[in-house]
């Protein structure tokens, strides 16, 4: 017996030691005051739940502005409060005084509200947000077992409210969100005049809730911050709280949001049982705004300056970037005309720009009469090397025909031609894209050999055959007859295998379309122009053969077609031919290292091809037969009968040359098409 009593006593003692709160927390005649909520000091004197938190400013924030399903926040005085006088059936008087503020994103968007709540528990499991304000839910709303007294400060209309309040109302609630009494938010001024108030305006609102336990009446009063408490309450309602309250209750606040959301703040709170709530020191309460709806104005000036500087800098940088992009784009910009769109050989200016590193000076591999030739590497097609000839035309006239012609020439493919890959036009520039040929022109190899690397006879003979087959292709083997019109040593390029590649074919013909020249459209290079062409301007395959003949003599003799002192290669060779000393004309650089039969063949063929009479010249097909020794070269005996004509022609040439309409470049003289300059090939030089 004794031991069990001792045990029971010990247990009670233990309980007392370890759970003192339970006993002490049933407070009588409680009175407290919070002039703001310093987290360090108040975290033990208030119990927060849900979205509630102490703000650094010292405000107690019940909810944030999270929308959607809504958030709930609770803040309660942690200790139970004895609500009844000893030995009395009547609930005690109490009084609460607090300052709150409701912040919305924008007017009308706030919700739902907050409520001063006296409840038997600090927790509200299953309570709903929105209209239920985190106190009730649809199933327990109105139940007598709730034992809840609340004064709601609601900002959203719609919950069974009969009075039209636009939501902005104050209500007294017992066990339910159905207010037993409600009024639109307002206060009575000193003249007893009712003044409306906007709860969610963001300004602090003072509120008093007083219960007279003797008369069982609740007074609810609100008024703007720093105004005297109105003598007349907004709401006065008889409420028998004795039938509602339990012995011990908790007091605090509950708030919730929903589709509409506000931040609900309590700025200060005092409470007293059986007396009037002590006054708050309004001058030390945290003052809104706490949230930065007007963000820049609340920032420190230094930060403002930083932000301004940063923005200015960003704008400048952005501007520069746009300018740079625009410049780059403009540099590569191309306006395409409709017809240009379906030209398969048209290159994009941008690609050529990239390939030639922006038409850099260092990429120039030759300068011809029309403009510079640049070496380029096409990045897209695995580094194909190209030569880009940039022709600056003064006029864009005839560009369309020009392009059509190039489109057609672009389809020419032969191993002894410098293939024209495509073209591109930009403003008045025309860019022609060719295969890149590494060894330069025949002209430079013949007359300016690098480091005494003289072309051997075998190489020369091979070149002669190559040019012939290229010309044959142009004249007869392609779908159209293409007259080269400017066969000359500087238009023959030598590739890596020392094979001849004829370049710039058809260009002269192309330039006819320009029709800018008011001179006769005799296009070609002096020394290579057939007599009938100079006389009549008539171009035919025979005129190409004439030029080819001159070229043969040039290759064999190593002398230019026309030189100073009225030297004319064809006449000079013919003289030796007639003297029977044809081998005396052979290029001295070759010495005796050549095949006599081939040399005689080439010199004889050269003379026949450059025969004064077009009818006497062979076709290119025939030329190839002679070169391959399939046919024997015919013997021509009456050269002399043409001498008079020939000298007449020669004097005409020299007249033209002295007539100041000729561009002279490296002794390669061109007439006709003067406005475009010389048709000199620069490709690969």
Cβ contact 38:50 at 8 Å: no
Closest CB to ligand NAG among residues 29, 381: 29
- Which part of the chain contacts ligand NAG (CB under 6 A), choosing from 84-92, 319-327, 424-432, 483-491? 84-92
Asked about 486 being catalytic, the answer comes back as yes
d(Cα 485, Cα 509) in Å, to the nearest integer?
7
Q: Which residues contact 431 (CB under 8 A, 6 or more apart)?
A: 347, 349, 352, 388, 389, 390, 391, 423, 424, 425
First to last CA, the chain: 126
Q: Which residues, in sequence order, are bridge partners of residue 384?
A: 378
Closest CB to ligand NAG among residues 239, 355: 239
User: Quick one: tokens of 526?
Assistant: 């002096």
- Which part of the chain contacts ligand NAG (CB under 6 A), choosing from 190-198, 209-217, 492-500, 565-573? 209-217
Decide: is 274 part of the binding site for ligand NAG (CB under 6 A): yes
Number of residues that bind ligand NAG (CB under 6 A): 31
**Is residue 390 a known part of a binding site?**
yes
d(Cα 37, Cα 57) in Å, to the nearest integer?
8
CB of 351 to ligand NAG, least distance (A): 52
CB of 86 to ligand NAG, least distance (A): 6
- Which part of the chain contacts ligand NAG (CB under 6 A), choosing from 132-140, 299-307, 491-499, 583-591? 132-140
Among 154, 183, 210, 554, binds ligand NAG (CB under 6 A): 210
Residues 50 to 79 in contact with ligand NAG, rule: CB under 6 A: 51, 64, 66, 71
Residue with the shortest CB distance to ligand NAG? 126
Among 178, 195, 212, 477, binds ligand NAG (CB under 6 A): 212
Among 92, 206, 612, 681, binds ligand NAG (CB under 6 A): 92
d(Cα 389, Cα 372) in Å, to the nearest integer?
6
502, 357, 513: which is closest to 430 by C-alpha?
513
Among 2, 125, 362, 383, binds ligand NAG (CB under 6 A): 125
CB of 124 to ligand NAG, least distance (A): 6
Cis, bond preceding 289 (omega within 30 deg of 0): yes
**What character string, x for contact with ligand NAG (CB under 6 A) and - otherwise, covers 28-47?**
xx------------------
Cis, bond preceding 147 (omega within 30 deg of 0): no
Instruction: Out of 141, 154, 486, 495, pick the active-site residue.
Output: 486
d(Cα 170, Cα 159) in Å, to the nearest integer?
13
Decide: is 126 part of the binding site for ligand NAG (CB under 6 A): yes
Q: Tokens 């922006």 belong to which residue?
A: 358
Among 36, 233, 252, 371, binds ligand NAG (CB under 6 A): 233
Residue 666: Cβ within 10 Å count: 14
User: Quick one: tokens of 443?
Assistant: 């002209």
Decide: is 284 part of the binding site for ligand NAG (CB under 6 A): yes
Cβ contact 286:36 at 8 Å: yes
CB of 181 to ligand NAG, least distance (A): 13
Among 12, 38, 90, 645, binds ligand NAG (CB under 6 A): 90
CB of 125 to ligand NAG, least distance (A): 5
d(Cα 240, Cα 185) in Å, to the nearest integer?
24
- HSE (side-chain half, CA atoms, 13 Å) at 265: 30
Cβ contact 267:100 at 8 Å: yes
Angle at 227 between CA 194 and CA 288, to 5 degrees: 110
Residue 668: Cβ within 10 Å count: 24
Cβ contact 558:587 at 8 Å: yes
CB of 309 to ligand NAG, least distance (A): 21
- Which part of the chain contacts ligand NAG (CB under 6 A), choosing from 13-21, 199-207, 277-285, 599-607? 277-285
CB of 127 to ligand NAG, least distance (A): 6
Closest CB to ligand NAG among residues 85, 598: 85
Among 5, 294, 451, 638, binds ligand NAG (CB under 6 A): 294
- Which part of the chain contacts ligand NAG (CB under 6 A), choosing from 102-110, 122-130, 148-156, 528-536? 122-130
CB of 399 to ligand NAG, least distance (A): 60
Residue 278: Cβ within 10 Å count: 15
- Which part of the chain contacts ligand NAG (CB under 6 A), choosing from 6-14, 135-143, 347-355, 670-678? 135-143
Closest CB to ligand NAG among residues 140, 612: 140
**What character string, x for contact with ligand NAG (CB under 6 A) and - otherwise, covers 490-519?**
------------------------------
Q: Which residues, in sequence order, are bridge partners of residue 441?
A: 493
3-state secondary structure of 94: strand
3-state DSSP of 442-453 = HHHHHHCCHHHC
Among 139, 145, 592, 638, binds ligand NAG (CB under 6 A): 139
Q: Which residues contact 112 (CB under 8 A, 6 or more apart)?
A: 70, 129, 130, 131, 133, 154, 155, 156, 255, 256, 257, 258, 260, 262
CB of 216 to ligand NAG, least distance (A): 6
Among 5, 297, 451, 641, binds ligand NAG (CB under 6 A): 297
- Which part of the chain contacts ligand NAG (CB under 6 A), choosing from 88-96, 415-423, 495-503, 631-639? 88-96
Among 42, 57, 105, 137, binds ligand NAG (CB under 6 A): 137
Q: Which residues contact 205 (CB under 8 A, 6 or more apart)?
A: 99, 100, 101, 102, 153, 197, 199, 222, 223, 224, 225
Cβ contact 387:437 at 8 Å: yes
Closest CB to ligand NAG among residues 236, 663: 236
How do 372-378 and 384-392 pair as beta strands?
antiparallel
Decide: is 681 part of the binding site for ligand NAG (CB under 6 A): no
Closest CB to ligand NAG among residues 127, 510: 127
For residues 22-35, b (16+ Cβ closer than 10 Å) or e, as one string?
eeeeeeeebbbebb
Closest CB to ligand NAG among residues 214, 341: 214
129, 199, 209: which is closest to 168 by C-alpha?
199
CB of 154 to ligand NAG, least distance (A): 20
**Which residues contribute to the annotated binding site?**
390
**Which residues contribute to the annotated binding site for ATP?**
390
Q: Which residues bind ligand NAG (CB under 6 A)?
A: 28-29, 51, 64, 66, 71, 85, 88, 90, 92, 124-127, 137, 139-140, 210, 212, 216-217, 219, 232-233, 236, 274, 281, 283-284, 294, 297
Provide the annotated active-site residues: 486
């Amino acid at each position: 017996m004794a031991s069990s009593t001792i045990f029971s006593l010990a247990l009670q003692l233990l309980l007392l030691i370890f759970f003192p709160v339970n006993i002490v927390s049933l407070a009588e005649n409680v009175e407290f005051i919070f002039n703001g909520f310093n987290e360090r000091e108040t975290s033990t004197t208030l119990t927060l739940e849900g979205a509630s938190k102490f703000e650094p400013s010292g405000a107690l924030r019940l909810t944030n502005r999270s929308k959607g399903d809504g958030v709930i926040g609770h803040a309660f005085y942690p200790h139970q409060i004895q609500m009844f006088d000893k030995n009395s059936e009547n609930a005690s008087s109490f009084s609460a005084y607090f300052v709150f503020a409701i912040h919305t994103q924008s007017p009308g968007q706030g919700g739902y509200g907050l409520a001063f709540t006296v409840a038997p528990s600090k927790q509200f499991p299953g309570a709903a947000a929105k209209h239920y304000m985190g106190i009730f839910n649809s199933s327990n709303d109105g139940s007598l077992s709730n034992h809840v007294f609340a004064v709601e400060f609601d900002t959203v209309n719609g919950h069974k409210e009969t009075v039209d309040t636009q939501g902005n109302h104050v209500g007294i609630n017992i066990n339910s969100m159905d207010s037993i009494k409600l009024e639109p938010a307002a206060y009575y001024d000193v003249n007893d005049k009712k003044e409306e108030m906007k709860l969610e305006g963001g300004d602090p609102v003072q509120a008093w809730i007083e219960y007279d336990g003797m008369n069982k009446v609740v007074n609810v009063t609100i008024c703007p911050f720093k105004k005297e408490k109105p003598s007349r309450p907004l709401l006065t309602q008889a409420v028998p709280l004795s039938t509602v309250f339990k012995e011990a209750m908790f007091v605090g606040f509950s708030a919730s949001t929903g589709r509409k959301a506000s931040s609900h703040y309590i700025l200060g709170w005092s409470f007293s049982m059986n007396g009037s709530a002590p006054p708050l020191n309004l001058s030390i309460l945290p003052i809104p705004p706490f949230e930065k709806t007007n963000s820049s104005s609340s920032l420190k000036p230094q930060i403002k300056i930083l932000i301004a500087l940063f923005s200015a800098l960003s704008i400048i940088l952005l501007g520069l970037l746009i300018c740079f992009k625009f410049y780059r784009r403009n540099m590569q910009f191309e306006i395409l005309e409709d017809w240009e769109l379906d030209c398969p050989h048209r290159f994009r200016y941008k690609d050529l720009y990239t390939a030639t590193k922006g038409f850099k000076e260092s990429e120039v591999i030759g300068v011809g009469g029309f403009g510079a030739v640049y070496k380029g590497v096409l990045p897209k097609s695995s580094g194909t090397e190209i030569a880009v000839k940039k022709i600056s035309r003064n006029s864009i006239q005839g560009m369309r025909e020009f392009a059509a012609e190039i489109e057609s020439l672009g389809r020419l493919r032969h191993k002894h031609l410098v293939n024209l890959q495509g073209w591109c036009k930009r403003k008045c520039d025309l860019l022609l894209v060719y295969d890149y040929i590494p060894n330069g022109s025949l002209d430079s190899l013949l007359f300016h050999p690098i480091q005494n690397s003289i072309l051997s006879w075998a190489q020369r003979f091979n070149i002669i055959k190559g040019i012939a087959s290229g010309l044959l292709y142009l004249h007869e083997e392609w779908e159209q007859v293409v007259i080269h019109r400017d066969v000359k040593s500087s238009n023959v390029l030598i590739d890596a295998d020392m094979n001849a590649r004829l370049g710039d074919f058809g260009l002269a013909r192309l330039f006819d379309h320009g029709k800018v020249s008011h001179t006769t459209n005799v296009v070609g290079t002096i020394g290579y122009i057939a007599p009938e062409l100079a006389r009549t301007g008539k171009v035919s395959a025979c005129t190409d053969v004439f030029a080819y003949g001159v070229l043969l003599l040039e290759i064999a003799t190593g002398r230019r077609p026309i030189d100073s002192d009225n030297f004319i290669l064809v006449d000079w060779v013919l003289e030796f031919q007639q003297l029977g000393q044809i081998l005396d004309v052979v290029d001295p650089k070759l010495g005796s290292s050549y095949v006599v039969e081939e040399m005689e063949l080439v010199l004889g063929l050269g003379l026949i091809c450059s025969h004064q009479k077009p009818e006497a010249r062979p076709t290119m097909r025939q030329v190839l037969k002679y070169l391959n020794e399939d046919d024997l070269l015919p013997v021509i005996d009456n050269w002399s009968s043409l001498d008079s004509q020939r000298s007449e022609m020669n004097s005409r040439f020299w007249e033209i040359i002295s007539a100041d309409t000729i561009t002279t470049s490296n002794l390669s003289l061109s007439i006709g098409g003067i406005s475009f300059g010389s048709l000199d090939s620069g490709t690969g030089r």
